[in-house]
Structure 1
Amino acid sequence: MQEITNIKDINDPQIKEFISLRKSAHDEKYVVVESTTVFKKLFSANIKIHKVFITPEHLDFLQQNCKDINFPILTASTELMKEIVGHKIHQGMLALIDKPQFISFDEIKGNIVVLNGLTSPENVGSIVRSCAAFDIGTLIIDEKTCSPFIRRCIRVSTGNLFNVNVYKSSALKDDLVKLKEQGYTISTTANAENAISLKDYTFPTKAGIVIGNEGFGVDEEIFELSDNILKIDIHEEVTSLNAAIATSIILFKMSS
């Protein structure tokens, strides 16, 4: 195992990234990830690990699950880790990694999920997890959608972000038009009068589904270019489903 350095001061420069990247902004080169579940996915992914910061009791886990430990290992007490992480509930495991890269438009493949203005890290992280579960070829996000590369999203996705291709669109309408020209059928979800019940719909071979903003739905221009409007039949007293839950239901149908 690599040499282990014990950190005793929160101002130690060796851990500055774990403090400054606590929220992992969109334009950062690196991202901080956490939890044993995410670590296991990370160790099997082709992503550069720059350093890990863990409590001593996790050293055995690190040695047992990582075949190639070629990065610095920093340790600290549970109390110091809590101070750095910013909350009391955490698993005492942090890693500084290269931020995963977006794919190019030409690399879009398979069935696609399109996120149009989703702002909740929990929803985006859960949708990433569902994309991995149902073998979605590409996740497309627009400029208004929360980055799936922020720490909270990666944690909620349980590390499955490392198994999903993500394309970030700077002109979503134009990109969807190009996908339609390539043979994709683009469907949108909405409780509209002319919406097709999901249970009565069969997805074509090249399918895309657009998931809109949690409060306002899909942008009008995206709604208008959609080939189909789909709805999930629910009890009339329930106005709508959570975006991530609705997506899981749709992807189950898409994959069947």
Structure 2
Amino acid sequence: MLRIQAIQDPDAPVLRPYRQMRKMTDTHGQGLFVAEGHKVVTRLVESPLKIHSVLLDATWMERLKAPLEARHERIDAFVTSKETIQALTGFGCFQAIKAVASIPTPSTLEQLCKQGSHPRFLVAMDGLTSADNVGAVVRSAVGFGADGLIVGPTCCPPYLRRSVHTSMGTLFNLPVHHASVLADTLHELSATGFRNIAAHPHADAQLVEQVSLKEDICIVMGSEGEGLSASVLQACESSVMIPMAKGTDSLNVASAASVFFYEVMRQRRGNEAGCNPWQSP
């Protein structure tokens, strides 16, 4: 049920998540996240995630009214001007459209291992502290066909506002498992037949195109500064690296993730003449 209403009181409790947008961890601690922008909010409306409210101007309300009315939960639609939205949130906004939704229940490791079909492709993150980098890794993971995401305990949560925004809402289609001890989770994955592959540039690493990625695998991405922790690295069966030009030792984790994940897709779809890895088989 959609309830369209004007904002009578900017201090109303129901608007608190929008007022707290600068304090991302406060909203996350309440089990909520904020989606921003037309593409992200549209993907949210198309997803099964529970939406509590939308904050938007009259133009966006007209465009989203029908799909919002088609949903089953009660949704409050607060319609106001772009200027009021900016004053309420404390942010300038290119598109006057935002939404508040519930963070979905994380997947168990068993559920994650059953996503998709063989060969399965999981991504794990160890120590990524930048919300933007987490969102960018998620966007690449979904774009190149990952079946699920494992988040280590020292990682930025993927449902922080900036992560959701940078992922462009692709996060809504990616099952997420939160590992209390990432190295232990990787050992459990190995026991089920997955091969854990560390994205780690060091002397013993193979070039990514030299490693077969056609079995059940988990690509493990490390932090922006320190890379993978020792315990996580030890839990991986092999290490791979991207060949770099002389004088350059590595890429930003988000850029590196795109290269690794593309190689997974390329190998699994074939690289024969006339085969386009970007097209569905």
CA gap 1:249/1:19 in 2 versus in 1, 3 angstroms: same
Q: CA deviation at 1:22?
A: 4.5
SS in 1 for 2:171: helix
Q: What residue is the counterpart of 1:96 in the other structure? A: 100
Give % identity. 26
Normalised by the length of structure 1, the TM-score is 0.93
Residues 115-155 of structure 1 deviation map (CA, whole Å, 9 limit, x = unaligned): 00001111110111111111211110111100001111111
Deviation at 1:245, TM superposition (A): 0.9
Give 3-state SS (helix, strand or coil) of 1:170's partner.
coil
Cα 1:116–1:2 shift into 2, 3 Å: closer
Distance 1:63 1:234, change over 3 A: same
Q: Does 1:20 align with 2:20?
A: yes
Unaligned runs of 5+ in 1: none
1:101 maps to a residue whose letter is T
Give the Cα separation in 1 of the matches to 2:148 and 2:3. Answer: 40
Closer, same or farther in 2 for the Cα pair 1:174/1:2, shift >3 Å? closer
Change in Cα spacing, 1:154 to 1:111, as seen in structure 2 (3 Å) is: same
Aligned to 1:112, which of 95, 104, 122? 122
Deviates more, 1:185-194 or 1:115-124: 185-194
Residue 7 of structure 1 deviates from its aligned partner by 1.8
2:198 aligned with 1:188: yes
Residue in 2 that maps onto 1:4:
4
Aligned length: 256
In 2, Cα distance between equivalents of 1:3 and 1:65: 13
What SS class does the counterpart of residue 29 from structure 2 fall into? coil
Q: Which moved more, 1:18-27 or 1:139-148?
A: 18-27
State the Cα deviation string for residues 177-202 of structure 1 (Å, max 9, x = none). 11111111111122211110112121
Corresponding residue of 1:51? 53
Distance in 2 between the 1:48 and 1:239 partners? 43
Pairing 1:122-133 to 2, within 5 Å after superposition:
122-133=132-143
Structure 1 pair 88/231, CA: closer, same or farther in 2 (3 Å)? same
- Say if 1:8 and 1:76, in contact at 8 Å, map to a contact too: no
Q: Which amino acid aligns with 2:11?
A: N
Q: Given the alignment of the two structures, is residue 135 of structure 1 paired with residue 137 of structure 2, yes or no?
A: no
- Tell me how large the CA RMSD over aligned residues is: 1.8
Moved over 6 A (4+): none
CA 1:195–1:53 in structure 2 vs 1: closer, same or farther (change >3 Å)?
same
> Equivalent residues in 2 for 1:149-160 (5 A)?
149-160=159-170
Do the aligned residues in 1 keep the contact of 2:3 with 2:75 (CA within 8 Å)?
no
Q: Given the alignment of the two structures, is residue 221 of structure 1 paired with residue 231 of structure 2, yes or no?
A: yes
Contact conserved, 1:6 with 1:74, CA < 8 A, in 2?
A: yes
What TM-score do the two structures reach when normalised by structure 2? 0.85
Task: In structure 2, list runs of 5 or more residues that go unmatched.
Answer: 114-119, 267-281
Q: Distance in 2 between matches of 1:152 and 1:244?
A: 14
